[in-house]
Amino acid sequence: MRKTKIYLFLFIAVITAVVIYLLSNNPVKKSIDTFPPDNKSKEITPVNVDTLESKVDSTETEVKFVPPSFSGENEFGLMEGYDVLTVFLPDLIDNYEEIGEVRFFVRQSRLPVQLLPNGNLKIFPIDDDWCGKDTISFGVINQIQDYYIHKIYVDITPVNDPPKFYNLPAYLEFDEDKSLDDFRLIDFVIDIDTESSYLVFDFEKSNELTITQIGNGVFSISSKNENWYGCDTIQFFVSDDSVNFISQKVEVNVNPVNDPPIVYPISSQTIFTNQNFSPVHLDDFVKDPDNDKIKWLITGSKFITSEITSENIALFEYPEVWRGSDTLIFIAEDKGGLKATTSAVFTVKELEFWDKQPQKDIKTLASMAVEDAVSLVITPYRWDAEDWFIFAGVLGGTAALFSLDKEIRKIGMRNSHLKDTPLIEAGELFGRGSTAYLISGAVVGAGLIAQNKKILLIGLELFESYWVANTMTSTLKGLFGRSRPYASEDNFDFYWTDYEGSGQRALPSGHATVAFSMSSVLAAHVDEWYWKAAFFTPAVLTVSQRIISNSHWISDTFFGAAIGYFIGTYFVNRHKGALDDTWVIGVDPMGRLNIVYNLN
């Protein structure tokens, strides 16, 4: 074991002595910055130091190599965006002609490089927008493995590049009735040299579009006309904080949307009898930019009939005897089925009494009364079954009340103490003929002073209803000759035409006739029930007074009230046009009295 250790020690000592000898006879010359070449260096013709001969044959003549002397120029510059920087490495060695045959190699750098056999070193930017500094180390190797390292410094100076569009869409679109409220152009622009917040955005005005920049690089786009659709172009501009700018055109497509038609109000129409409604040119009341042809429909009518011509002109007709108002609904529909509506009220009014005569003027109230009286006399000729039923009901009701005459008289006599009260006396006063003259004359005078035809017509109706009803009542009194209650307790005591005085003129009651004729006229001109009740109250008081005062039987007052009511109502309805004018009497402009008979 001890001998083995001695042999091992002697072997190590011999090897060490040999190495020291070799190193002392072959020194390696290095520059200040020397290091072995990196096997990862980027050169076109890489030089592997290990492949060189390690030493010169001792039998050959020794060759002396001169070490390179590097020049002081080792800084190079390149502007950002340029393609390549070329450095001729032999130019960096002052004594290149003296150092003999050498080869170059380059260690790996951040910048891409290419070493050509002739010593040209091409240095490339990382990309077009890269800028900054980098250090590139290159070396020189001679034939005896002497290598020398030198460094060069490359500075790529930044250049302010213009901004660029990135994935900017070639066209935008939105529907006709909408807008593009948040088009972020800023998201499609890149600029490595300028922050996006410092970029300036602008646009060229469009013919059909309204463009508004609502934020830096954010735009709102809409149609100038809400009904416009089609294609238009917007040119956008982007500039940085220098003079660099770019522009790009973008097509904007506005898709058509079928909007419903717009219908304007159609004026209501009011006419009088025997007049015609004006035609309505429907296309003048509709607007639809999406459709040239509009289909019209009229609904909602109850009485008026309508017709639409091929030119969309609406024509209207109404029943000859109809008066009133009707609401028509006009519907406009386009080809897409979208609709719009409007409505109008069509009214037919009866001519005023003064306006519907065949003559221009009615000269006197007397002629009007005569005309109405003649019409009343012949009106049974036009009665229908309903009219005859009412007439029979009045006669039957009067006859039926004969059975109650005595009982009602007893009740009246028990309350005879009320006949002198102001209220009952007012009822008697209301039924007098003088009161009728006074009231009708006052109303006619008020109408003349106010130049109000309606008030004047009411005065005429009060007068003629009293005059005609009173004339009829007086005639019937003379025909029947019925005894009053105070003249005979027998309610069937009739003298017929052989009466002796006012005691035998009970049927019908003249006071009741006058009172109800006036109340009927006044009540016919109001619609509210409480006003009607107020106008009939004096007539009821008149009837009560005639019974309490023992002047009439209940059947007398009923028959008289019916005569007054139907005559007053007849004249009002006749003037309103509710009854046909078969007979017309008037005075023409020459002052001549005319009687016209209508055969229709």
**Do the domains at 164-255 and 262-349 have one common CATH topology?**
yes
CB within 8 Å of 430: residues ≥ 6 apart = 514, 515, 518, 538, 539, 541, 542
Mean pLDDT score, 124-150: 85
Residue 552, pLDDT above cutoff 60: yes
* Beta-ladder partners of 500: none
pLDDT band at 366 (very low <50, low <70, confident <90, very high): low
Instruction: Pick the range with the lowest mean pLDDT from 80-84, 184-188, 252-256.
Output: 80-84
> Which amino acid is it at 215?
G
Report yes or no: 35 and 105 within 8 Å, Cβ to Cβ: no
Look at residue 56 in the predicted model and tell me its pLDDT: 39
Here the tokens at position 502 are 């006012």
Tell me how far the alpha carbon of residue 546 is from its chain's centroid.
69
Q: Strand, helix or coil at 270?
A: strand
Q: What is the pLDDT of residues 590-600, one digit of tens each?
A: 445 555 444 44
CATH class of 28-157: mainly beta
Cis peptide bond prior to 508, omega within 30° of 0: yes
- Average the pLDDT over 575-587 and give the result: 52
- Spell 182-195 as b/e; 16+ CB within 10 A means b: ebebbebbebebbe
| High-pLDDT (> 90) share of the chain, % | 22
Report d(CA 570, CA 573) in Å as an integer. 5
- In tens, the pLDDT along 428-451 reads 888 888 888 899 889 988 888 887
* pLDDT at residue 594, as a whole number: 52
Q: Comparing 287-301, 350-364, 482-496, 520-534, which segment has the lowest mean pLDDT? A: 350-364
491/476 Cα distance (integer angstroms): 17
Q: Where are the domains of the chain?
A: 28-157, 164-255, 262-349, 365-597
Confidence of residue 267 (pLDDT cuts 50, 70, 90): very high
Strand ordering across the sheet containing 269-272: 269-272, 339-349, 324-333, 295-299
Ramachandran angles phi, psi of 493, nearest 5°: -90, 100
pLDDT at 211 over 90: yes
Residue 3 pLDDT greater than 60, yes or no: no
Band of residue 313 on the pLDDT scale cut at 50, 70, 90: very high
Q: What is the CATH number of domain 262-349?
A: 2.60.40.10
Residue 9 sits at the vertex; the CA angle it makes with 4 and 12, to the nearest 5 degrees, is 125
Q: Which of 518, 513, 434, 519 is nearest to 475 (CA)?
A: 513
Cα angle, residue 27 at apex, residues 21 and 30 outer, rounded to 5°: 155
What confidence score (pLDDT) does residue 46 get? 42
Please report, in angstroms and rounded to a whole number, the separation of the first and last CA atoms in the chain: 164
Runs of H (alpha helix) within 525-583: 529-548, 554-576
pLDDT band at 370 (very low <50, low <70, confident <90, very high): low
289 — pLDDT class (breaks 50, 70, 90): confident
**508-530 residue pLDDT tens:** 888 889 999 999 999 998 889 99
| Topology annotation, domain 365-597 | Vanadium-containing Chloroperoxidase; domain 1 (1.20.144)
Residue 50: per-residue pLDDT: 44
Question: Which contiguous run of DSSP H or E holds residue 137?
Answer: strand 132-141
CATH architecture of 164-255: Sandwich (2.60)
Residue 224 CA, distance from chain mean position = 18
Q: Average pLDDT for residues 486-506, to the nearest whole number?
A: 78
Cβ-contact 506, 553 below 8 angstroms: yes
Report pLDDT for 432.
Answer: 87
pTM, 2 dp: 0.41
Model confidence at 218, pLDDT cuts 50, 70, 90, reads very high
Q: Is the pLDDT of residue 315 over 90?
A: yes
Q: What is the largest CA-CA distance in the chain?
A: 196
pLDDT higher than threshold 70 for residue 254: yes
pLDDT of 362 > 80? The answer is no
Question: Three-class SS of residue 383?
Answer: coil
Tens of pLDDT, residues 392-429? 888 898 888 888 888 888 888 888 888 788 888 888 88
Average pLDDT over residues 181-189: 92
pLDDT-based confidence at residue 249 (cuts at 50, 70, 90): very high
Q: What would the pLDDT profile of 384-395 be if each residue is shown by its tens digit?
A: 888 888 888 888
Give the pLDDT score at 599: 40
